[in-house]
């Protein structure tokens, strides 16, 4: 893998089409399923990106996007697992991974695990 780049809330105009293109390739054989159609996925991208805590990684291999992972801080009141944890996390601090996709050419290379681990790793703002 050449590089993994990190993007935030303000970067969506620059990366939105990349996310849509990776999705289209990742689900090319399943576009008949309404859940995987580009229009529905575009809505999810816009929904998650609207959160100020939006965090996205895109992996590039020789300039081609190979996969991505993104998420944001879970919305208050949507942390349904909270009652099962002791002690409970501080409200508004739980990161929710929304999407992780790898294009077919890069599946089985460990890229999904690398994106997952990098996105969820504690960073300077954690």
In this structure, the dihedral spanned by the alpha carbons of residues 116, 3, 104 and 36, taken in order and rounded to 10 degrees, is: 60
Q: Assess whether pLDDT exceeds 80 at residue 77.
A: no
Could you tell me the pTM of the whole model?
Answer: 0.86
b/e 14-33 (16+ beta carbons within 10 angstroms → b): ebeebbeebbebbbeeeeee
Cα–Cα distance between 34 and 4 in angstroms, integer? 30
Q: Which distant-in-sequence residues (6+ apart) come within 8 Å of 73 by Cβ?
A: 51, 53, 92, 93, 94, 95, 96
Q: Assess whether pLDDT exceeds 80 at residue 118.
A: yes
In tens, the pLDDT along 102-111 reads: 999 999 999 9
């Amino acid at each position: 893998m050449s590089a993994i780049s990190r993007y935030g809330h303000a970067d969506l105009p620059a990366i939105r089409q990349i996310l849509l293109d990776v999705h289209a390739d990742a689900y090319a054989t399943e576009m008949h399923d309404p859940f995987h159609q580009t229009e529905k996925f575009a809505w999810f991208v816009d929904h998650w990106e609207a959160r100020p805590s939006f965090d996205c990684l895109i992996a590039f291999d020789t300039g081609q996007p190979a996969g991505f992972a993104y998420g944001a801080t879970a919305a208050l009141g949507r942390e349904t697992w909270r009652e099962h944890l002791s002690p409970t996390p501080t409200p508004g601090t739980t990161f929710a991974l929304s999407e992780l996709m790898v294009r077919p050419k890069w599946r089985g290379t460990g890229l999904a695990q690398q994106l997952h681990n990098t996105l969820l790793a504690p960073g300077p703002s954690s």
